[in-house]
Structure 1
Amino acid sequence: MNLDWSYMIDQIPLYKKALILTIKLAFWGILLSTIIGLICSIIQYSKVKVLRNIVQGYIELSRNTPLLIQLFFLYYGLPKMGITIEAELCAIIGLAFLGGSYMTEALRAGIEAVPVTQIETAKAIGLSNSQLIRYILLPQAVTSSVPALGANCIFLLKETSIFSGIAILELTNTTKDLIGMFYKTNESLLMLVIGYLIILLPMSLLLSWLERRVRHAEFGY
């Protein structure tokens, strides 16, 4: 396969810009989805049935509708109702909405893995519900959920490729535009693969290292 290396070198600035935008959108989407997951997992642990039902409804809606459909609703549907949101903000909201449900389930499983004896002991020594959540449940839940949380982060980063559906010039959309203009399919796709590797490979290695650290309880050593 003969590649046009001069073409690839010429397109590096465009791919660099697209790479930075992809990382930016993924960062905010993952951060917000983690916050949503923390809040919703705590609500699921609570005894307030109405709130728990609302969270369960959100999870079912989020996980059973494609991200592309969610983005179309935010970007094309809301303006019909008089609400206009910029494309990048739509992307962040959509990613957070989708990711929040996955983070919630991961953290919920972590909370349920905390031994009942620890919870009973905490209550016996007089810890309030907020103290129980802060000092007993969340630290252990987050620790045991690291593999699932890491997998969700990688999943959400890959989902940024869907943003091309609302005309955001991230890596995938940049590649599609360049192929349409110059017909350099192999070169453009290779640069797309390299772009995602630049993001995903270090992230995957970091998460693997973090998982090992958590497993062996070696923080601070």
Structure 2
Amino acid sequence: MDFDYMIQYAPLFVEAAGITLYIGLMGIAISLVLGLAMSIIRYHKIPILTEICGAYIELSRNTPLLVQLFFLYFGLPKLGIHISGEVCATIGLAFLGTSYMAEAFRSGLESIPFSQTESAEALGFTKVQIMRFIIIPQTFTVSIPPLCANVLFLIKETSVFSVCAVPDLMYVAKDLIGLYYKTDETLWMLVIAYLIILLPISIGASILERKLRYGRFGNSSAL
């Protein structure tokens, strides 16, 4: 194991990890917002929009991210639309992530007893107030486990961003292997970089899930 090589090129992995994490978090943030909106549309069964959301979810979840990125990066220029690799990666991750987040939120929404909505209506709450103060807070609590799992899944999916010429972790690793043939050392640095990114998120998600599960806010019997 050539440790001098690993020390010399570690800064490249640090820089690539920053790019990977930035694009990943941007895509995840967008997918959370759009996923919540989509789940609310399906929860209320809004005509036409519900069918569109259902079709989108099936399309997104049943096509690989790599194919979606190929379409964005190589297909759109054929239509005269040119966007950078970073933007392609963000859009692709958000496109995939929105469907997974929507399903996670939908499961949380459907777990809330309808009697709570009826009680709130009897007290004079509007539909917007019911969603804002009663349904959505509980939905987030119930949805924490699948949401955290989706976050980890989407960050791992960033490993295919190199097809868009994004200088992420995988891109740097492949470049270094091609230049110096230090496969073992490079792959070890790649594994360590992903562990540094993913392990804190995984531990934080476990702690958050545990606190909400046993806390009063996350206990449905206390509502």
**Which range, TM-score by smaller chain?**
over 0.9
Shift of the 136–218 alpha-carbon distance from structure 1 to 2, 3 Å rule, reads: closer
Residue in structure 1 matching 2:211, options 176, 190, 213: 213
Aligned-pair Cα RMSD in Å: 1.0
Q: How many Å apart are 1:47 and its aligned residue? A: 3.4
Write the deviation string for residues 46-81 of structure 1: whole angstroms up to 9, x where unpaired.
232201001101101100111011111111100100
Residue in structure 1 matching 2:39, options 22, 38, 41: 41
SS in structure 1 opposite 2:48?
A: helix
Cα distance in 1 for residues equivalent to 2:216 and 2:12: 41
Alignment of 1:1-221 (within 5 A): 3-217=1-215
Q: How many Å apart are 1:218 and its aligned residue? A: 6.1
Cα distance in 2 for residues equivalent to 1:37 and 1:124: 29
SS in structure 2 opposite 1:93?
A: helix
User: Which consecutive residues of structure 1, in runs of 5 or more, have no partner in the other structure?
Assistant: none
User: Which consecutive residues of structure 2, in runs of 5 or more, have no partner in the other structure?
Assistant: 218-223
SS in structure 2 opposite 1:14?
A: helix
Write the deviation string for residues 163-195 of structure 1: whole angstroms up to 9, x where unpaired.
011111111111011000000000000000000
Cα distance in 1 for residues equivalent to 2:158 and 2:89: 8
Q: How many Å apart are 1:137 and its aligned residue? A: 1.0
1:203 is matched by which residue type in structure 2?
Answer: I
Number of aligned residues: 217
Write the deviation string for residues 124-154 of structure 1: whole angstroms up to 9, x where unpaired.
2221111111111111111000000000000
1:22 is matched by which residue type in structure 2?
Answer: T
Identity of aligned residues (%): 54
Cα distance in 1 for residues equivalent to 2:142 and 2:189: 36
Cα distance in 2 for residues equivalent to 1:171 and 1:73: 22
* Structure 1 segments (4+ residues) deviating >4 Å: none
Write the deviation string for residues 24-65 of structure 1: whole angstroms up to 9, x where unpaired.
011101100101111101111123220100110110110011
Shift of the 137–218 alpha-carbon distance from structure 1 to 2, 3 Å rule, reads: closer
